[in-house]
Chains A and B, each alone.
Chain A
Amino acid sequence: MKNKSLDTAEWDLRLYVAGQTPKSVAAFANLKKLCEEYLAGKYRIEVIDLLEKPQLAKGDQIFAIPTLVRKLPQPIKKIIGDLSNTQRVLVGLDLRARA
Chain B
Amino acid sequence: MSNIAHRRDKAQLGSLEKCPTGIAGLDQITGGGLPKGRPALVCGSAGCGKTLLAIEFIVRGITEFNEPGVFVSFEETSEELAKNVRSLGFDLDDLVRRKKLAMDFVRVERSEIEETGEYDLEGLFVRLNLAIESVKAKRIVLDTIESLFSGLGNDTILRAELRRLFRWLKDKGVTAIITGEKGDGTLTRQGIEEYVSDCVIMLDHRIHDQLSTRRLRIVKYRGSMHGTNEYPFIIDETGVSVMPVTGLGLNHPASTARISSGIARLDTMLGDKGYFRGSSILASGTAGTGKTTLAATFADATCQRGQRCLYFGFEESPAQITRNMGSIGIDLQPWVDKGLLRFHSSRPTLYGLESHLAMMHKLIEEFAPATVIVDPVTNLVSAGLVQDVHAMLLRLMDYLKSRQTTCFMTSLTQSGHAMEQSEVMISSLIDTWLFVRDIELGGERNRGMYILKSRGMSHSNQIREFVLGKHGVELLDVYLGPAGVLTGSARLAQEAKEQAEETAGRVERQRQQTEAQAKRKALEAQIVALQAQLVAQDQALESLRVSEQAKATHEKAERQAMAQSRQADAPSKKGTGT
Contact = CB atoms under 8 A, between A and B. Distances in A.
Interface of A: 16, 18, 21, 23, 26-27, 50-51, 54-55, 57-58, 61-67, 76-85, 88-89, 91-92
Given A26-B117, A50-B123, A67-B119, 17 more contacts: A18-B125, A54-B127, A54-B129, A55-B130, A57-B126, A63-B121, A63-B127, A63-B148, A64-B119, A64-B121, A65-B121, A77-B112, A79-B114, A79-B116, A80-B115, A81-B116, A82-B116
B117 A50 contact: no
B115 A81 contact: yes
A63 B125 CA distance: 8
Contact of A78 (B113, B118, B129, B148): B113
Contact of B115 (A21, A55, A57, A79): A79
Contacts of A89: 114, 116
Contacts of A91: 114
27 contacts: A18-B125, A18-B126, A26-B117, A50-B122, A50-B123, A57-B123, A58-B130, A61-B106, A61-B107, A63-B127, A64-B119, A64-B120, A64-B124, A65-B119, A65-B123, A67-B119, A76-B112, A77-B112, A77-B114, A78-B113, A79-B116, A81-B117, A81-B118, A82-B116, A84-B118, A85-B117, A92-B116
Contacts, number: 96
Interface residues of B, number: 24
A27 B115 CA distance: 12
A27 B114 CA distance: 14
Contacts of A16: 123
A16 to B, nearest CB: 6
A18 B116 contact: no
B117 A63 contact: no
A14 to B, nearest CB: 12
B135 interface: no
B490 interface: no
Given A55-B130, A91-B114, A92-B114, A81 B119 contact: yes
A65 B122 CA distance: 6
B104 interface: yes
B368 interface: no
Contacts of B127: 54, 57-58, 62-63
A83 B114 CA distance: 10
Interface of B: 104, 106-108, 112-127, 129-130, 148, 152
Contacts of B107: 61
Contacts of A55: 130
A38 B54 CA distance: 48
Contacts of B104: 58
A57 B119 CA distance: 16
Contacts of A27: 117
Contacts of B113: 78-80
Contact of B119 (A50, A54, A58, A82): A82
Nearest to A62: B123
A54 to B, nearest CB: 4
Contacts of A88: 114-116
A33 to B, nearest CB: 13
A65 B117 CA distance: 11
Contacts of A81: 115-119
B126 A66 contact: no
Contacts of A82: 116-119
B152 A64 contact: yes
B326 to A, nearest CB: 62
Contacts of A83: 116-117
B114 A80 contact: yes
A77 B365 CA distance: 55
Nearest to A50: B126
Contact of A64 (B112, B123, B129, B130): B123
